[in-house]
Structure 1
Amino acid sequence: MKKGIKIVTIGGGSSYTPEFVEGLIMRYKELPVSELWLVDIEEGKDKLQIVGDLAKRMVEQAKVPMEIHLTLDRREALKDADFVTTQMRVGQLKARIQDERLPIKYGMIGQETNGAGGLFKGMRTIPVLLEIAKEIQDLCPDAWLINFTNPAGLVTEALLRYGAHPKVVGVCNLPINTRMTIARLLGVDVERLHIDFAGLNHMVYGLDVKVDGESVLPQVLELMGDPEQQVSMQNIAPIPWEKEFIKSLGVIPCPYHRYYYKTSEILQKQLEEYQNGGTRAEVVQRLENDLFELYQDENLKIKPPQLEKRGGAYYSDAACNLISSIHNDRGDIQTLNVRNEGAILGLPVDSAVEVNCVVTKEGPEPIHVGELPVAVSGLVQQIKSFERVAAEAAVTGSYEKALLAMTINPLVTSDVKGKQLLDEMLEVHQEYLPQFKGQIQHS
């Protein structure tokens, strides 16, 4: 009989892995993981070894009986797993740099999970994740697939709509990050704070904020309109919100909403960075190099604090809390990407939404929200249309669907330039887009 819990992390050579390992160590009593398998591909072999060695030192230092296994053989790792987490980057950071630089060249925002960059990251990633879902169904059909790979909303949409494995949840650290930040702004313990989140991944809104069950939404909106008190993330410029706008919106936007409500300001900032030879991807590349340098130090036996600059704060909380709640049948509330099932009226019942859920051993059950406020429902609908068409393009390799997805995204501001950008990005990323073979226009 199998003892303990077996977790498989695909993309195990990621710089985020020590954060996840720390989360598992801290929760060992409630979540007795006996095996953690870190899986990567040939190109990530060296990073896997470095991260794996650090993970082994961390576990040894903490004196928890968790075996760390490193492998490039996904099928070997997946056999009899209880949970599978995915945190991959198809094409690695080199592809992300193109996702960010090419749209800027055409005068549009370049970002890895939004706009044209998000479309291409999704189209490279979805076929690989659908293959993994098939293997999970074959080798560990009872396992939960917990996807952290961005763009998480689009990827979860594709897994739910086209995947062979039904037990899928998308996870993002943004809701936890927002909750922690707002608790800090209010000066209250985070356990006393509750936010009603609803929308899509990176397009989620806080519909209400309660402290000890009492709404404090007006106070939070007031704080968010203060240029000194900004809710943002490492990878998004903290351009202040206008007080009047936040008050009239009446709900809490997430940091990614700046791409949609402050498009020209963000674009201006990106153009300046582009002209000076830098994008966020290139900053991340430097941070990654520094982190892997640190990880190689044999005296390092904990997660280094420098990892927080990478933008993944609370990543382990999001992933580990979910796994622990399913394992322990906890029945607590978490914000997750799941099938809508009527939780948000006006969005397809079979589409992925990001919403508060009650988490038990049966998995997450979305909490009914009803209709989104008029002020925000249109933008959410538009992004969901984009995700639906983009997922279809990724699965079918249809040039027409890819062009349609590109053009209906609000961050792609011209159909002519959008087509030119699509053609150039298809050519640049063709190695990772086999489904589009024969449809790529060579310049």
Structure 2
Amino acid sequence: MKLAVIGGGSTYTPELVDGFARLRDELPVTDIALIDPNASRLELVAGMARRMLAHAGHPAQVLATASVEEGVAGADAVLFQLRIGGQTARNVDETLPLRCGCVGQETTGAGGLAKALRTVPVVLELAETVRRHAPGAWIVDFTNPVGVVTRALLDAGHRAIGLCNVAIGFQRRAAATLGVEPSRVSLGHVGLNHLTWERAVYLDGVDVLPALLGEHAEELAEGLGLRPGLLTRLGAVPSYYLRYFYAHDQVVQEQRARPSRAAEVAAMEERLLEMYADPAVVEKPELLSQRGGAFYSEAAVALIASLLGDRGDAQVVNLRNGGTLPFLDDDAVIEVPATITAAGAVPLPVPAVEPLYSGLIAHVSAYERLALDAALYGGADRVRDALLAHPLIGQDAIAEELTDLLLEANRAYLPWTVG
């Protein structure tokens, strides 16, 4: 079994390799192709991957290449985990919106739109290469903004599924709180990527969320940066990305007072790459747990194993709505539990979504449609429309100013802005 990782020079990659090594019985990988144009980073990460596999006694071979064609050829699955513009562009995404009083975040709001503009055209070009050289491969997209990127891939006819670690992260946290094995816990997870709520937590099929909220609301809220009373009133646990909506002005104040997350991650990546260069380091460094993407490897292994092994189990993924949420277009991409087989993902039934959630979901889904149009076809007017439609922006003067700022800052990545 061959797996290819586009963006294989990422400091995330050893997290992925660690999962391949630990879960070899679940996913018997024989070849791993790491694909990245950054030769120096790729060499360090590939060396680290080889040492990790050897230390674990895993026989998989690691190919490191800048050639997408060579890397994906004959692959059974291709993971996309790329960041166009690196941490430098991310830093702009996180700081520029603050000038207009808007939250600065790489996937939410204006920063998320800027990332989509840079990312979608590149991802679609890469996916065409996958179609030519590995026509039977599944594309698993971990590249943000996952909802917009996954919709772009599906609209273009690719065999693609979007993946995020938010759901598995909460599942593991809930299992730890309950003192049980994660396999006994499943979620009533609903929404869009980075806009989700847990409306149920099932332990052996029984919903224990009311008890969890009754006993642990303060602890759960603290981890989200929200008030315990909000969780109690909602009767649900929002993802931590909902803090950008429920506490927007507070977040803006906090972001203005401290360095960006991009700056923190850039410094962390320097230290990680130094570790990866040390031939004595043969296991995933503890520092990597602070990088983000917790449980990404386990979610990826589970998804690929089910796609290639036709397991028919339930996992939370990003996929077509197809009537699951009747207040959205069928072509919208949602994030819900789905049955995963060799034929792909089929969403499980979702109980009716209350207006408190469905209104915001519909609002952001409409923005995502406009964001994809802007990424595909360009034009300042399309960018402005997307910003105007976003619930965290929504004001004409701010949308106008942000359009000019975002296009100027991203001119090097948007050929249609030239001239």
Q: TM-score, normalised by structure 2?
A: 0.97
DSSP-derived class of the 1:122 partner: helix
1:136 aligns with 2:130: yes
Measured in 2, the distance between the counterparts of 1:230 and 1:77 equals 43
In structure 2, give the amino acid aligned to 1:149.
T
Pick one of 280, 286, 297 that aligns with 1:316: 297
Other-structure match for 1:343: 324
Measured in 2, the distance between the counterparts of 1:225 and 1:348 equals 34
Deviation at 1:248, TM superposition (A): 2.3
Is the 8 Å Cα contact of residues 226 and 247 (structure 2) preserved in structure 1?
Answer: no
Other-structure match for 1:193: 185
Identical-residue share of aligned pairs (%): 38
Measured in 1, the distance between the counterparts of 2:249 and 2:214 equals 24
1:70 aligns with 2:51: no
Aligned length: 419
1:200-242 Cα deviation digits (max 9, x unpaired): 000111121121222112122334531x44474xxxxx42323
Other-structure match for 1:54: 48
Is the 8 Å Cα contact of residues 160 and 351 (structure 1) preserved in structure 2?
Answer: no
1:293 aligns with 2:289: no
In structure 1, give the amino acid aligned to 2:164.
C
In structure 2, give the amino acid aligned to 1:57.
R
1:274-314 Cα deviation digits (max 9, x unpaired): xxxx1111011111111111111100111111100111110
In structure 2, give the amino acid aligned to 1:382.
H
In structure 2, give the amino acid aligned to 1:270.
Q
Unaligned runs of 5+ in 2: none
Other-structure match for 1:34: 30
Unaligned runs of 5+ in 1: 233-237, 439-443
DSSP-derived class of the 1:388 partner: helix
Measured in 2, the distance between the counterparts of 1:15 and 1:230 equals 30
The alpha-carbon distance between structure 1 residues 392 and 366, as it changes in their structure 2 partners (threshold 3 A), is same
1:136-177 Cα deviation digits (max 9, x unpaired): 22111110000000111111122222x242x10000011000
Other-structure match for 1:20: 16
Alignment of 1:228-243 (within 5 A): 228-230=219-221, 232=223, 238-243=224-229
Is the 8 Å Cα contact of residues 225 and 240 (structure 1) preserved in structure 2?
Answer: no
Deviation at 1:61, TM superposition (A): 1.5
In structure 2, give the amino acid aligned to 1:407.
L
Moved more, 127-136 or 183-192: 183-192
Let me know the Cα RMSD of the aligned residues.
1.5
In structure 1, give the amino acid aligned to 2:6.
I
Pick one of 169, 190, 212 that aligns with 1:177: 169
Other-structure match for 1:214: 206
Alignment of 1:103-142 (within 5 A): 103-142=97-136
Deviation at 1:432, TM superposition (A): 0.9
Deviation at 1:435, TM superposition (A): 3.3
Deviation at 1:246, TM superposition (A): 1.8
Is the 8 Å Cα contact of residues 7 and 36 (structure 2) preserved in structure 1?
Answer: yes
DSSP-derived class of the 1:145 partner: strand
DSSP-derived class of the 1:195 partner: strand
Other-structure match for 1:379: 360
Measured in 1, the distance between the counterparts of 2:127 and 2:292 equals 27
DSSP-derived class of the 2:8 partner: coil
Other-structure match for 2:418: 437
Moved more, 207-216 or 217-226: 217-226
Measured in 2, the distance between the counterparts of 1:423 and 1:223 equals 48
Deviation at 1:266, TM superposition (A): 0.9
Measured in 1, the distance between the counterparts of 2:140 and 2:201 equals 27
Measured in 2, the distance between the counterparts of 1:73 and 1:188 equals 44
Deviation at 1:425, TM superposition (A): 1.5
Measured in 2, the distance between the counterparts of 1:151 and 1:280 equals 16
In structure 2, give the amino acid aligned to 1:194.
S
Is the 8 Å Cα contact of residues 26 and 301 (structure 2) preserved in structure 1?
Answer: no
